[in-house]
Amino acid sequence: MSESLIVDPVAAVVHPKPYNHPRRERLFFSGMAVAFAAVMFVGFAPTYFLRTLSDRPPLPWLVHVHGVLSITWILLLLIQTTLVAVKRTDLHRLLGVGGGALAVLMILVGFFVSISAARRGAAVDPGTLGFLIVPMGALIVFPVVVGAAFLLRRRPDFHKRLILIATIELMNAAVDRLPGVFAAGLAPFYPGTDLFLLALVIYDGVTLRRIHPTTLWGGLFLVAMQVLRVQLMETSAWLAVARWLTS
């Protein structure tokens, strides 16, 4: 039999090409962390970072604590993505413990800051009291998603996406303060915040050829909670709760 007619059945099997792009992954998650930092700075520059350049009154000390904790979270995200990129997962895991403690502090301080801000706002304009549901909702979404990330810390693909989604929830405050958002009456500007989520969906589509289950279910939870807050914001039931919280 001629050698040209011999068919190797193993060689004839077509193996799908794995969509494993470690460099692209490092660039994406590091880039998202940088984008978070940039939006936070631009959004809060007039009222926080560059406040001393204006004649605005000093902020309460609790607001400064809240600001420092939020900045630390973003810086930690930058550091953690860098550690993964340079393959220092040992330090990444060690800092992750501190990240859990930081998240708890952010939730506790965030509650009191939100109540205090709502009281000050309602004293000037009682019609703003309904907006309290926006930060209160964040105090549900953030711990739920971060808690899931902690439980799934041994599943890197799940863990990193959950941390990203938790941080997207935090970014709404910064996005609301981008130039022109408040003036246009767009706050809470959830569509702007969800551009970060859209970036994650596109990344999954390009690298995995599908939406990762964490992106799908975590993203749906994030968006559903946004819609729920908008729908309940001006209802009599929520306003009664808001008045009770700020009384």
pLDDT, tens only, 30-58: 999 999 999 999 999 999 999 988 888 88
Q: Give dist(CA 39, CA 36) in Å, integer.
A: 5
Structure tokens at 205: 């589509």
Burial class (CB in 10 A: 0-12, 13-18, 19+), 52: exposed
What is the per-residue pLDDT across 125-180, written as a single tens digit (0 to 9) for each? 888 999 999 999 999 999 999 999 999 999 999 999 999 999 999 999 999 999 98
What is the per-residue pLDDT across 98-108, written as a single tens digit (0 to 9) for each? 999 999 999 99
> Which helix H or strand E contains 74, and what residues bound it?
helix 61-85
